[in-house]
Amino acid sequence: PLYLSVPLVLDDEHKSSAANWHSILGVWALGRMSTVYETVGETEDTPSLTNCSLELRHCLESILTPWIAKEVVLVHADVAATCERLHVEDAHGVRSVALDKAAHLAQILATRSETAICMWTPHMRSQLIEFITAHEGMGVSEARGFIFKALQHELCIAGVYLRTIVNVPDALSTVTNAGRLAHCILCFLAANCPEQPQGNESPFAPVAVAWLK
């Protein structure tokens, strides 16, 4: 059920340590549930995600924003890789590694983060809690059409919130591939700006020059 998919993950930072501890476990659990594979056909070398994991990933992208959802999915793989590298095999040790890896995401969900690639605020958390409460007992597919009001007018291209890098130029340092971002912005302009009469200078030329410098 959708309500059970995001249990105490949304607790505020001032809640008890026990609740926050369960929130961290909740992030890890969501990571594990979204990375369950099954063997397709007779070849065991080509596993694919189960339908439940695929559906959960789509749900997380809607209700946690794409970047946070991606980080939640990666938590389980990160935990497994760390345990293998450190030769951690006992349940207590694995749980300790998981808590360490998932803590920063639980902290973001309980507070706020406004960067070039991550947008999460207390208002967004409140809206999500209202949505989950209203859809208690329903499947995760109910989240497909969920949209945060705070993000309705945010221009996000290639996973980057442009308002943030305009207001805080240093935020561009968090973008891993500025060249790809520039290309995507130009493609967006080309697709959304009106065409110019033949012979007129393209309105995209100054933008292209500015980004290529």
pLDDT in tens, 79-97: 889 999 999 989 888 888 8
Phi, psi of 20 (to 5 degrees): -65, -35
Give the Cα separation of 140 and 62 in Å (integer): 10
pLDDT of residue 86: 92
pLDDT digits (tens, 9 = 90+) for 132-159: 888 877 777 778 788 899 998 889 998 8
What pLDDT does residue 166 have?
Answer: 86
Q: What is the per-residue pLDDT for 83?
A: 92
How far apart CA 73 and CA 155 sit, in angstroms, is 24
Q: Give yes or no for residue 210 having a pLDDT over 50.
A: no
Q: What single letter denotes the amino acid at residue 104?
A: H
Q: What is the pLDDT of residue 82?
A: 92
Q: Is the pLDDT of residue 31 over 70?
A: yes
Q: Which two tokens stand for residue 119?
A: 């947008």
Instruction: List 120's β-bridge partners, or say none.
Output: 113
> Mean pLDDT, to the nearest integer, of 170-196?
82
Residue 12 contacts residue 108 (beta carbons within 8 Å): no
Looking at every residue in the chain, the average pLDDT score rounds to 79
Percent of the chain clearing pLDDT 90 (strictly above)? 15
CA distance 64 to 78: 19
Q: Is the pLDDT of residue 197 over 90?
A: no
Q: How far apart are CA 7 and CA 95, in angstroms?
A: 18
Query: Residue range 33-43: average pLDDT?
Result: 76
Pairing of strands 113-114, 119-120: antiparallel
